[in-house]
Structure 1
Amino acid sequence: MTATDAPAKGQDLRQLIRYALVGGSGVALDLGVFLLLYNVLGWNEQLANAISTSLGITNNFILNALFTFDKRDRLLIRFVRFYIVGLTGIALTYVLFRVFSDGLGADPNLVKAGSLPLVLAVQFLLNRKWSFA
């Protein structure tokens, strides 16, 4: 590692930590709204997931634009890209619901909770390389 690599590595780590913290707030919002819509209001798990994930995506875009990636230009374009990346999370979770909940009879609450780390990792990579590049 050269002397010029150290600042970049430190910045990458700070960015990852911020992304994880922002992601945590989005996960809490997403999961909380999902549990409310699905368990309390009795909505279909796919509809509850689409609504809860959309709220999490919007929360995370605002916080990531301000604190993680420090990007305030081209916000509409960035939001559209960020939302498209977020749709990958909805699609991935949809597939997991179909396989584990519908196909294998797993509890949708567990499927939703179990999908979150995988979705977070995929979306970080896509957002870093495309939405906030």
Structure 2
Amino acid sequence: MTVTDAPARAERPPGKFRQLISYTLVGGSGVVLDLAAFALLYNVLGWHEQVANGVSTTLGITNNFVLNAVFTFGKRDRLALRFVRFYAVGVCGIALTFGLLWLFAGRLGTDPNLVKAASLPLVLAVQFLLNRKWSFA
């Protein structure tokens, strides 16, 4: 069997690793924006942690959509539909973080800043898979 006879499944589509790296870097910028906005809204302005989380996450989602559309996935078509899908995935992340804040901060007394930061890796992993398969497919 020659290289060209190898099953297609064994081939890795070019750009998958690059997409993951780009998504991670874009996600990092969104995380910084999200955490900074959360800290400002919650710690400085005294907003309730759930409201601060909703606003800060929305800022991060919007930042990440624009950067991912341009740099990670190179998709500039159907932007309105893609944004709705991307935001829906983001809402899943908001819901997951709300649940974690409710449990760990609201019920167990953990610092909301710690809960927010600790939730990010799980939320980002789930969102990458959903966005790659649905928002930017």
The corresponding residue for 2:45 is 41
Cα distance in 2 for partners of 1:14, 1:84 equals 24
Task: Report the CA distance between 1:94 and its aligned residue.
Answer: 0.5
Report the secondary structure of 1:49's partner residue. helix
Q: Does 1:58 align with 2:57?
A: no
The corresponding residue for 2:77 is 73
Matching residue within 90, 97, 103 for 2:101: 97
Q: Any unmatched runs of 5+ in structure 2?
A: none
Q: Which amino acid aligns with 2:70?
A: L
Report the secondary structure of 1:13's partner residue. helix
The corresponding residue for 2:125 is 121
The corresponding residue for 2:114 is 110
Matching residue within 24, 28, 31 for 2:28: 24
Identity across aligned pairs (percent)?
69
Q: Any unmatched runs of 5+ in structure 1?
A: none
Cα distance in 2 for partners of 1:76, 1:25 equals 22
Report the secondary structure of 2:110's partner residue. coil
TM-score (norm 2): 0.92
The corresponding residue for 1:88 is 92
Q: Which amino acid aligns with 2:122?
A: L
Residues 56-113 of structure 1 deviation map (CA, whole Å, 9 limit, x = unaligned): 0000000000000000000000000000000001100000011100110000000000
Superposed CA RMSD in Å reads 1.4
In the alignment of these two chains, the number of paired residues is 131
Larger radius of gyration: 2
Cα distance in 2 for partners of 1:11, 1:66 equals 15
Segments of 4+ moved more than 3 angstroms: 1-4
Cα distance in 2 for partners of 1:109, 1:56 equals 16
Cα distance in 2 for partners of 1:11, 1:128 equals 12
Q: Which amino acid aligns with 2:89?
A: V
TM-score (norm 1): 0.95
Q: Which amino acid aligns with 2:112?
A: P
Task: Report the CA distance between 1:46 and its aligned residue.
Answer: 0.3
Cα distance in 1 for partners of 2:62, 2:136 equals 15
